[in-house]
Amino acid sequence: MDSDVLVVDDSAAIRKILQRVLRQTGMAINAIHEAGNGEEALALLKEHKVHLILSDINMPKMDGLQLLASLKASGDWSQVPVVMITTEGGETKVAEAVRLGAAGYVRKPFTADQIKEKLAGILEPALPL
Amino acid sequence: MNVENLIESAIHHSVVEVFSTMLSGNIEAGAVTREHTAPETAEGVISFIGIAGRWSGTGSIACSSAVACRICSEMLMMEATSLNEEVLDAVAELTNMIIGNVKSSLERHLGDLGLSIPTVVFGRNFQTKTGGSIDWMVSKFHWDGQELIVKMCLAPNEKTSQNAAQSLGQTCPVEI
């Protein structure tokens, strides 16, 4: 079964880059959904079932850590892997993301290979890469 | 090492890393100077990000419209020939990555810092002015011969810093 992926970032540029990178990974993807912040992501998840979430941390309205906490506290989305992709490389933020249940952490700037490697480690063998 | 040296080094490493990872071409460091807050007439694109915490200030990136279009073209792998929403968004994200990585590097010495959402200004014959009286560290880079300027001002926050006496040019209390 092909997967649906949700990309959450307030930068349209990063959403576009991640769309391209995800297509390059070879993942069997049905659709890539986009949200500009955590609130938009939660609204979108009411309409779509997704199998993987890539999220920035610094975003207006609801940041990535708040989104992660909401997802892990929910019954419906607590098992969906969430990978944080962010400029926030400080130990405090990384530790907070890990404590909240992030499946992985990629620091911006990133290469396509770094994203692919991270997703392979998280999704295999749940999703084909 | 003083805070000024830390910022200079962090900016250099961040710009080189971001350009080598997300863009192509040759980025070379040029002159590093210290400027006061006198307003200057500018044109092109300037992107700002606020920094807050024990230390607070602003990071900014300035470039011509042509450089902004090239940044967008290479980041998004699409041709950008004039300033539009995608170009401005690409410059904002580049600023976020460069200043964000500088922030992460400085946090090891100055404690936790927060970043604002980037703001991009573009046009001709505009001036920028920072409130208060604070020096800017100005690092010039040459990207295949075209100029990109990274600026940062940072000062101890008197309300929260235990080291409020420190300033940009004074010694950092943490060994590196």
A89 part of a folded domain:
no
User: CB distance A11–B96 less than 8 Å?
Assistant: yes
CA proximity to B149, closest of B23, B17, B25, B27: B27
| CA A125/CA B14 separation, integer angstroms | 35
| CA B89/CA B95 separation, integer angstroms | 10
pLDDT (0 to 100) of residue B164: 43
Which residues, other chains included, contact A92 with Cβ-Cβ below 8 Å and sequence gap of 6+?
Answer: B107, B112
| CA B35/CA B88 separation, integer angstroms | 26
A90 part of a folded domain:
no
A129 part of a folded domain:
no
Residues of chain B whose C-beta is under 8 A from some C-beta in A?
17-18, 21-22, 72, 75-77, 85-86, 89-90, 92-93, 96-97, 100-101, 103-104, 107, 112, 115, 117
pLDDT (0 to 100) of residue A91: 75
- Mean pLDDT, 10 residues at a time, chain B of 176 residues: 88 95 89 76 87 92 95 94 94 96 91 91 82 84 94 83 50 40
A92 part of a folded domain:
no
Q: What is the DSSP letter of A2?
A: P
CB A87 within 8 A of CB B49: no
CB A7 within 8 A of CB A33: yes
| CA A55/CA A36 separation, integer angstroms | 10
pLDDT (0 to 100) of residue B38: 57
| CA B134/CA B53 separation, integer angstroms | 17
A51 part of a folded domain:
yes
User: CB distance A87–B117 less than 8 Å?
Assistant: no
Q: Measure A15 CA to nearest chain B CA, in Å.
A: 10
CB A32 within 8 A of CB A7: yes
pLDDT (0 to 100) of residue B100: 94
Taking the CA of residue B61 as centre, how many other CA atoms within 13 Å lie in the half-sphere pointing to its CB?
A: 30
pLDDT (0 to 100) of residue B125: 80
| Nearest residue in chain A measured CA to CA from B94 | A109
Domain that holds residue A61: 3-28+37-83+99-123
User: CB distance A87–B104 less than 8 Å?
Assistant: yes
CB A85 within 8 A of CB A106: yes
User: CB distance A109–B21 less than 8 Å?
Assistant: yes
Q: Chain A contacts of B107, Cβ < 8 Å?
A: 90, 92
Q: Where are the domains of chain B?
A: 3-156
- For A37-54, how does the pLDDT look when each residue is reduced to its tens digit (9 = 90+)? 999 999 999 999 999 999
Interface test with B, best of A7, A59, A87, A113 (most B CBs within 10 A): A87
pLDDT over 50 (residue A25)? yes
| CA B68/CA B80 separation, integer angstroms | 9
Name the E strands within chain B. Answer: 27-35, 41-53, 55-63, 113-115, 119-127, 136-143, 146-156
* B131's tokens: 């409130």
Neighbours of B166 (CB within 10 A): 18
- Count the domains in chain A: 1
| CA A25/CA A29 separation, integer angstroms | 10
Q: Which residue has the higher pLDDT, A93 or A90?
A: A93
- Which CATH code fits B3-156? 3.40.1550.10
Query: How much is the ipTM here?
Result: 0.83
pLDDT (0 to 100) of residue B2: 85
pLDDT (0 to 100) of residue B127: 77
User: CB distance B96–A87 less than 8 Å?
Assistant: yes
pLDDT band at A26; cut points 50, 70, 90: confident
